Structure 1
Amino acid sequence: MTATREQDVVELLVDQHNQIRRLFSEMDGAQGDRKREVFEDLVRLLAIHETAEEEVVHPVAGRRIEGGQKIVEERLHEEDQAKHMLAELYDLGPDKPEFDVRFQALKNAVIQHAEREEQQEFSTLREKVDKDTLKRMADAVRAAEKTAPTRPHPRTPESAVGNILAGPPLAVFDRVRDKMRELVKSGKGNR
């Protein structure tokens, strides 16, 4: 990817999928504080990524690709399952003995989900949607990510409307919690 060329939505999301894969790989060898940091990065990226996909990409795919509604419903179901798994892991914490086995199940589910998105949804979007629209969709994904929650919220609906209604208040809560965690970690919140 060259810095002078603007990414379209497919390139942006595939890059994010690759970041997610790298974080999963990094988790395999991480321990202690590093394991917790990598897991928190992964949680944040997955939460933001899935919210943006649900708000921007899935609605377009559902309308523009043949059989799109069925494909989107399947991806939303997978995302809902992963959101529940991720929330349980987040509550459990990476230092618990059962974390690693459950984390491997999440890793397998998310990687399979990403592969299905890339093969069934993204490749068809590239064929059916013009380049300018794909670039505008990338801008819309970036905008959606700015107001997306940074943690999984399994009780929120898996839809664009659900995310638009519930996402911003949850995002404010999550981002305040993230800042407080950063303060405590830096020692500035302990005075």
Structure 2
Amino acid sequence: MGTTRTMPETMGENDVIDLLQRQHALIRDMFDEVERSSGDERREAFQRLVRLLAVHETAEEEIVHPYARRVLPGGVEVVDDRLEEENKAKELLQHMDQAGVDDPNFMANLERLRFDVMEHARAEERYEFLQLRARTSEAERRSMAAGVKAAEAMAPTHPHPGVESATKNVLLGTPAAMMDRIRDVIRKAMGKQA
């Protein structure tokens, strides 16, 4: 899998809905990659998946969900349902990260995680993204996409070797720690855009 394909900040989509849907497809592909690999290759593929999920979900929580809460009819309930799904997946992801890819239950947990994440993605696309596209302008969606890309560029899913910056360690540690640091990076990035 080419590095550029797995770096959200380099994706060409300028509409936030298109960008997030492309990332959903990429996440599906990455689950396949983890499943097909073994040993160190599986460990590396799983870490890439963990990083992408951390960056993707945190960007949605910080940029897309707050907007959806404000503009969608029943937006609070729609977003609360998505956050509940995300939290369920995060708990399993945290457990899997702690147990490691050599855990005898890893593959069963991977299937469960894949199911939860893909169900969540389908619900987002159906209940949040469709309505968001209908109730936002192209300029608003471009602005949100720019925010997602800026945040993801500061917390890349592929740490750039040799880059000395305050964000170089954002994607180290547990999934929960990554999400906390990514949240801080996104808030700083969005503050700079405002």
TM over 0.5: yes
> What is the CA RMSD across the aligned residues, in angstroms?
2.3
Aligned residues of 2:13 and 2:19 also touching (Cα < 8 A): no
Q: Describe the SS at the equivalent of 1:10.
A: helix
Q: Larger deviation: 93-102 or 106-115?
A: 93-102
Answer yes or no: is 1:62 the counterpart of 2:69.
yes
TM-score normalized with structure 1 length: 0.76
Aligned residues of 1:147 and 1:167 also touching (Cα < 8 A): no
2:129 to 119, 122, 125: 122
Alignment-derived partner of residue 167 in structure 1: 183
Aligned residues of 1:65 and 1:125 also touching (Cα < 8 A): yes
Give the Cα separation in 2 of the matches to 1:109 and 1:39: 16
Aligned residues of 2:30 and 2:45 also touching (Cα < 8 A): yes
Aligned residues of 2:89 and 2:117 also touching (Cα < 8 A): yes
Q: Larger deviation: 49-58 or 144-153?
A: 144-153
Change (3 A) 1:40 1:6: closer
Answer yes or no: is 1:153 the counterpart of 2:173.
no
Q: Describe the SS at the equivalent of 1:153.
A: helix
Alignment-derived partner of residue 82 in structure 1: 89
Amino acid paired to 1:107: R
Give the Cα separation in 1 of the matches to 2:47 and 2:14: 26
Q: Larger deviation: 140-149 or 96-105?
A: 140-149
Report how many aligned residue pairs link the two structures.
Answer: 159
Q: Which runs of 5+ in 1 are unaligned?
A: 157-162, 170-191
TM-score normalized with structure 2 length: 0.75
Alignment deviations for residues 150-171 of structure 1 (CA, whole Å, 9 cap, x no partner)? 35218x8xxxxxx68x8338xx
Alignment-derived partner of residue 4 in structure 2: none
Aligned residues of 2:62 and 2:183 also touching (Cα < 8 A): no
Answer yes or no: is 1:53 the counterpart of 2:76.
no
Aligned residues of 2:96 and 2:106 also touching (Cα < 8 A): yes
Give the Cα separation in 1 of the matches to 2:65 and 2:23: 16
How far has the Cα of 1:50 moved from its partner? 0.5
Answer yes or no: is 1:106 the counterpart of 2:113.
yes
Give the Cα separation in 2 of the matches to 1:153 and 1:27: 20
Give the Cα separation in 2 of the matches to 1:147 and 1:69: 29
Answer yes or no: is 1:132 the counterpart of 2:155.
no
